[in-house]
Amino acid sequence: MTQKEIKEKLDNIEDIKALEDEVNKLINEGYDEKIFKKYFNKISKVTKKYDDQLIRKQIEEEYLKTYDIVLGIDEVGRGPLAGPVCAACTMMKKESLILDIDDSKKIKEEVREELYDKIKDEALTYGIALVDAETIDERNILDATFLAMSKAYKEAISKIDDIENKKVLVLIDGNLKNPYIDCEQVTIVKGDAKCYSIASSSILAKVTRDRIMNELDSKYPMYGFIDNKGYGTKKHTDAIKEHGYIKGLHRMTFIKNLI
């Protein structure tokens, strides 16, 4: 085969194990290893992702020796000046192994959008919940975050049959247990990078909230929500000073020094 024919053949192999086997076969047939550098890199990259996910899944697998249901919870949107805080609660199927799942902040937006549907498809159960800006002002952001997490948790367990007779554990990103969740809890600092179900929840929550802010951008383009997602960028703070705040959308306790 010519080098072009080899490239065409290998580029059409999607399964990484099959690709590795084919590359090794061609090398054994006498082809120069140098022409396979691109494929060695791809195999190495995917293999690392696979190994990383197995490590992330070990946390749930260990707890599933004791508990029937182990869910991961995460939130996004604690820091913005505008928009809701969003939380998600997820338990992935035991066989699930989506290679690109990671802390949502580390993933490109277009990849997060693809993962959003994959996670829903491979979740044993999930829940997503929002708490709006007015409630954040009334309760404070920490309490509102706890409320969003508890709502996501309640939605997720409502989809599980015979939940009353099951031992349930939630794994929560961070170092604070949730006073509104009535089951056993374990907190994991940087859990969205360390734990498969928490990372999955971080992606569901971020995509949900980002979509809301993108929609709001079409209604209020002067604030730049499509870029800042409600965070306090210069464009956003300048817009608040020039155009004022949006009632029910801006967090008054966050922008009191701007108005």
Closest listed residue to residue 199, CA positions, set 127, 114, 98: 98
> For the CA atoms of the chain, what is the radius of gyration?
22
CA angle, corner 229, sides to 252 and 123, nearest 5?
115
- Residue 26 backbone dihedrals phi, psi, to 5 degrees: -65, -35
Closest listed residue to residue 205, CA positions, set 73, 109, 100: 73
Q: List 180's β-bridge partners, or say none.
A: none
Does the pLDDT of residue 11 top 90, yes or no?
Answer: no
Which residue spans within 77-215 are E strands per DSSP? 85-92, 123-131, 168-173, 184-188
Residue with tokens 């190994």: 51
Q: List 172's β-bridge partners, or say none.
A: 73, 187
Indicate the angle between helix axes 16-28 and 37-63, nearest 10 degrees: 140
pLDDT of residue 188: 98
pLDDT band at 47 (very low <50, low <70, confident <90, very high): confident
Does the pLDDT of residue 54 top 70, yes or no?
Answer: yes
pLDDT band at 6 (very low <50, low <70, confident <90, very high): confident
Does the pLDDT of residue 85 top 90, yes or no?
Answer: yes
What are the CA-CA distances from residue 130 to residues 195, 209, 211 (Å)?
Answer: 22, 8, 13
160-174 pLDDT per residue, tens:
999 999 999 999 999
**Paired tokens of 137:** 């002002």
pLDDT of residue 27: 77
pLDDT of residue 19: 67
pLDDT of residue 9: 74
57-70 pLDDT per residue, tens:
999 999 999 999 99
pLDDT of residue 222: 97
